Structure 1
Amino acid sequence: MTLFSMPIETIYLILLIVSGSLTILYLFFGDVLEGIAEATGFLNPVLILAFITFFSAGGYILEKITSLNSFIIIIIAALVSVLLDVLLNVFVLIPMASAEQSLSYTEKSLEGRVGKIIISIPENGYGEVVIESYSGMISKPAASFEDTPIDEGEEVLVIEVKSGVLYVIPYQKSFT
C-alpha cells in the first residue's frame, strides 16, 4: 500500500523516528509542557507520543513480517496501541503522579507543623527538630522564635522558616 506516493512502511518508520525524537525532547523539556497536560485533562502529551510510537512500531513490524492487508494492520496496530497506552497510564503515569506529590515537601510547607526537639535549643542558639511526614522523618536545624531555651523531647510548633532554619515555639495542645 502507498500513501502520499510513499510505501506505508516508510511512513511508519518516519512516524517512529519523529515520535521517538519528540519523546526524548519531551524527556528533557517536559516541564514546559506540564501546563498543557493539566489543562486538557486526559490528553497527556506522554500518552499521545506513546500512542504514536506504539502505533508506528506495531504497524512497521506487522507490515514487514506478515502478509496481512494494510487496513487490517492499521486496525490491529491502533487497537494494540490503545491497549498499551491505557496500561501505561493506569500502571505507570497515575501512580507516579500521586507518588511525586506525597514524597516532596517545601520549606514553606513545614510552617504550622508540629515537631519534636531532638537536640535542645539554648537561648539565642540552635538545636534540631524532627517532623514526621508521609515519606519519613524530616530533620532540620531549629532556633527558638522567642529566643528562649527549649528542652529536648518537647513538642514544638514551626512558626517560620528562614534560610533552612525552623523557628519554633513550644506547642501546647488546646482543647477548647
Structure 2
Amino acid sequence: METLFLSCLVGGILYALVSVVFGDWLGQAFDGALDFLSLDGHSWLSPTALVGSITVFGGAGLMLQRYTGFGSAAIVTVAILTAIIVGMGMFFLYIKPMEQSENSIAFSRDGMSGMLGEVLVPIPANGYGEVLVKVGAGFTNQTAASFDGVEIPGGSRIVVVEVKDSTLFVSEIHLPSFKS
C-alpha cells in the first residue's frame, strides 16, 4: 500500500513541477500532438483537480498509514474521501472562479446603441464622419452618420442611437458640465 500512496504523491508532485516549469515549452514543442489527452469536455475533469486529488490521495494515505492504527481498507477509504473533498474544494474555490473570470476584449457594434462618445472627424448632414466611443476598458474609432440629418462638429459629445450596415447613427448631446 505504501508504494501506491508514495507513487501517487510523487507522481502528482512531478506533474505539477513539469507542468509549471516546462508546460508552455512542451506545448509548443509537440505543437498540439498531445491535444487528445485534453479533457476539455467537463471542467470538473480538469487536470488540476484530477492530479491534485491523486496527489492528496497519496499524501493522505501515507500520513494515515504512518500515524494511525487504521487497517488498510479504512486508510484507503479515508484517503479517497479526503482526495474527493480536496478535489471538490479545488474545483469550486479555484478552477470554477478562474473560468468565470476570463474576460474578452471583443465587442459588437450592434450592442453599441446608447453608448456615449466624441466626434473626431466632423459629421456632415448627409455624409459620414468618425467618432470615438468607449467600449469596456478601451476606446474604438467607428464610422458614423448623423441620425437627425444635421451637421455635428468635431469635438461634440454624441450618443449612439442605432447601428445599421456597420455605421453608427449618432445624435449630438449637451451634457451639463460639473466644473467649478
Structure possessing the higher radius of gyration over alpha carbons: 2
Question: Which residue is 1:113 aligned to?
Answer: 111
Given candidates 81, 84, 108, the residue that maps to 1:82 is 84
Tell me how far apart the structure 2 counterparts of residues 82 and 13 of structure 1 sit (CA, whole Å): 18
Tell me how far apart the structure 2 counterparts of residues 151 and 168 of structure 1 sit (CA, whole Å): 19
The within-5 A match list for 1:44-83 is 44-83=46-85
TM-superposed CA distance for 1:81, in Å, is: 0.9
Aligned pairs, number: 149
Tell me how far apart the structure 2 counterparts of residues 150 and 113 of structure 1 sit (CA, whole Å): 24
Which amino acid is 2:156 matched to?
Answer: E
Tell me how far apart the structure 1 counterparts of residues 17 and 36 of structure 2 sit (CA, whole Å): 15
Tell me the TM-score normalised to structure 2 length: 0.62
Tell me the TM-score normalised to structure 1 length: 0.63
Given candidates 112, 129, 132, the residue that maps to 1:128 is 132
Matched, 1:22 2:22: no
Structure 2: gaps spanning 5 or more residues: 123-127, 146-151, 172-180
Secondary structure of 1:37's counterpart equals: coil
Question: Which residue is 1:12 aligned to?
Answer: 5
Distance 1:98 1:34, change over 3 A: farther
Q: CA RMSD in A?
A: 3.7
Secondary structure of 2:110's counterpart equals: coil
Distance 1:116 1:34, change over 3 A: farther
TM-superposed CA distance for 1:116, in Å, is: 1.6
TM-superposed CA distance for 1:25, in Å, is: 3.9
Question: Which residue is 2:100 aligned to?
Answer: 98
- 8 Å CA contact 1:62, 1:73 repeated in 2: yes
TM-superposed CA distance for 1:94, in Å, is: 1.9
Distance 1:55 1:87, change over 3 A: same
Cα deviation 1:59-105 (Å, max 9, x = unaligned): 112222223223221111101111111222223222221222xx323
Tell me how far apart the structure 2 counterparts of residues 140 and 10 of structure 1 sit (CA, whole Å): 59
Matched, 1:153 2:157: yes
Secondary structure of 2:45's counterpart equals: coil
- 8 Å CA contact 1:13, 1:60 repeated in 2: yes
